[in-house]
Amino acid sequence: MPPLRLLALLAGLLASSRAGPTPVVGIVGGRKARPLEFPFLASLQSQGQHFCGGALIHARFVLTAASCFRNLNPGAASVVLGAYDLRRRERARQAFAVRSVSENRYDPQENLNDLLLLQLEREANLTSNVALLPLPPQNAVVEAGTSCQVAGWGTRRNGGRLSRFPRVVNVTVTPEDRCRPNNLCTGALARRGGICQGDGGTPLVCNGLAHGVASFSPNPCGKGPDFFTRVALFRDWIDSVLNNPGQGPA
């Protein structure tokens, strides 16, 4: 398998991987997702290789992390919907080129506003395998202690191989003093669990809504807290993009 060209967990997570892998099970600490359990998940791929996740929020738009494209032109990426087993050519899959991108003051140095909208070249065909993930209202708050889910095809340990199937882990929103104002942070109670390499851009789902976009983790995979871009701070901006889609190429 060729090495991952892009990791959306940024410098802190990459540096921590040099400490050496620790065998763990899951996305980290999770379980194999059931078919059709997360029909909104998108696999962002470069030359057929998954490198980041995303969520379909509109028939023409996928929500992901801007950090996924720090070193790759979005026009060179493809968006795959309806995938489950990344090692098979599934009939339910729909693949798209990226027509245009929209970001909102992304700051790669501070890992702020790590959010990106990918406009697909055509509308997705909504099926049982391909569905939309609803968004929270502007400025909606997720209380500490809220149980959420995150799923993706990322590695199960630092430096490991991508998962063949999406895996899901239950996580808990941490108190504000363990996070930053523009982020939502999560951890897995009483065990290791969370995002890892290849899970950047994947959604944090709380109460059925996309409250977060996986951005980075300053610690080794599964040791949390994991930092997610707080989607509710961008809802008005997202709606403005969806209602006025760009016409140019990526």
* Eight-class DSSP state of 21: -
Q: Which helix (H) or strand (E) segment is 58 a member of? A: strand 49-58
Please report which confidence band the pLDDT of residue 193 belongs to, taking 50, 70 and 90 as the band edges.
confident
The whole-number pLDDT of residue 160 equals 77
Please report which confidence band the pLDDT of residue 56 belongs to, taking 50, 70 and 90 as the band edges.
very high
Res 67 pLDDT > 60: yes
Question: How far apart (Å, rounded) are the C-alpha atoms in residues 241 and 246?
Answer: 8
Q: Which residue has the higher pLDDT, 59 or 27?
A: 59
Q: Which residue has the higher pLDDT, 229 or 72?
A: 229
Model confidence, pTM: 0.86
Closest residue by Cα to residue 93 from 106, 105, 80: 80
The whole-number pLDDT of residue 223 equals 84
Question: How far apart (Å, rounded) are the C-alpha atoms in residues 208 and 41?
Answer: 13
Question: How far apart (Å, rounded) are the C-alpha atoms in residues 168 and 195?
Answer: 10
Mean pLDDT over the full length of the chain: 86
Res 228 pLDDT > 90: yes
Q: Among all chains, which residue has been given the structure tokens 């807290």?
A: 225
Q: To the nearest 10°, the Cα dihedral for 240, 245, 247, 250?
A: 90
Residue 104 CA to its chain's centroid (Å)? 17
**Percent of the chain whose pLDDT exceeds 90:** 70
Res 179 pLDDT > 70: yes
pLDDT in tens, 116-158: 999 999 999 999 999 999 999 999 999 999 999 999 999 887 7
Res 8 pLDDT > 70: no
Over residues 217-239, mean pLDDT:
92
Question: How far apart (Å, rounded) are the C-alpha atoms in residues 38 and 61?
Answer: 17
